[in-house]
Amino acid sequence: MIKRIIEISSEPLVLTVRDNQLRLHQPASRGGERVSSIPCEDIGVLVIEHPQTMCSQRSITRLLEFGAAVVYCGRDHLPAGVALPVSQNTQVVTRIQEQIQASKPLQKNLWKQLVVAKIRHHAEIVKPHDRGHYRKLSALAREVRSGDPTNVEAQGARYFWNCWRQLLGESDFRRDPDGNEGLNAMLNYGYAILRAGLGRAIVSAGFTPVLGIHHHNRSNAFSLADDLIEPIRPLVDQLVLDAVSDGLPAEINTNAKRLLLGLLHQTVRFDDTTGPLMVIMHRYVADFGRCLRGQAKKLCTPKAVKKTDEPNTNEKDF
């Protein structure tokens, strides 16, 4: 079953839980209170943005026990923090030992594969619009060496963002990982949602997101998620490019958030199968685990497939 994404942003709610149902108490403008309920087991990600939302400790704990990720947004409407469940995987100690014991050559090889996949996925975005940038990005992907010591990733990013802003006619756009306005806010919101989804999949597999293969900042509790997110960032880049090109305002509004939250339900390709990104993330992390254990040498990464016109009915906005 595909887990649901719940966003609380349009009005203040009080969250409680009863009989394993998340209860959302909505104040009515007239008359009595309205209450909606959702089975806790159906929720994959809960995004809390409205500043007056009140949550009982039991409601958040119960969601975590059912494997949900809870995302808290700040004043800028961008995710400020994520609560992840403690893994109930019976192999959690073994999985973490595998992370700790992974050799440097193995980590460098996996990072190379992640960088190559990211650059190639970016190349596919620009291919229909700019053959020159497509050829350059494809050539850069072939130059990546183990551990990416010459930082080809950064070179590829420069080429990609230069083409991306040209496609949108935004000559003044500069990519800012901390930006909270305009296109940067949309991109950062999308990346944060992917990061939460990956964190959930990582913990579910018994790994810890703290131990990365490339990112090692001691203040970063999501290093592994920040490693594995690289090849799927282009999904956000493509989504924002298409949406703004079609007339969606370049800002974080209700429509933009709904669109970006829906990314977790977008159909993607993984190896020889397709499925919702939220589901494929678990296969992606499992494949990463096989590489750590020496059971596989090539890491498969999720990639975009052609859009469908099927409506997404799994998100709910309160």
Q: Which domains does the chain have, with CATH numbers?
A: 4-83 (3.100.10.20), 92-317 (1.20.120.920)
Q: Taking the model in full, what pTM does it have? A: 0.89
Report the distance separating Cα 221 and Cα 177, nearest Å.
17
What pLDDT sits at residue 27?
Answer: 74
Instruction: Single out the residue of 84, 55, 88 nearest to residue 68, CA to CA.
Output: 84
* C-beta neighbour count of 107 within 10 angstroms: 19
Measured CA to CA, the distance from residue 26 to residue 213 in angstroms comes to 44
The span from the CA of 202 to the CA of 104, in Å, is 20
DSSP helix, strand, coil percent of the chain (3-state; round to 5): 45, 15, 35
Residue 276: its H or E element: strand 273-276
* DSSP state, residue 213: S
Do the beta carbons of residue 315 and residue 258 sit within 8 Å? yes
pLDDT at 307: 55
Longest dimension (CA), the chain: 66
Q: What integer pLDDT is reported at residue 108 of this predicted model?
A: 98
One-letter identity of residue 274:
T
CA distances (Å), origin 11, targets 54, 59, 119, 285: 11, 18, 40, 35
Mark the ranges of the chain whose per-residue pLDDT is less than 50. Answer: 308-318
Tell me how far apart the terminal alpha carbons of the chain are, to the nearest angstrom.
Answer: 22
* Residue 265: per-residue pLDDT: 95
Containing 71, the helix (H) or strand (E) segment is strand 69-73
SS3 (DSSP) at 292: helix
197 — phi, psi (to 5°)? -60, -40
Res 1: pLDDT: 65
* Sequence-ordered list of residues with C-beta below 8 angstroms from that of 20, at least 6 positions apart, any chain: 39, 40, 41, 62, 66
Can you read off the two tokens belonging to residue 55?
Answer: 């949550």
Burial 121-152 (b: 16+ CB within 10 A, else e): bbbebbeeebeebbebbeebbeebeebbeeeb
CA distance 285 to 301: 9
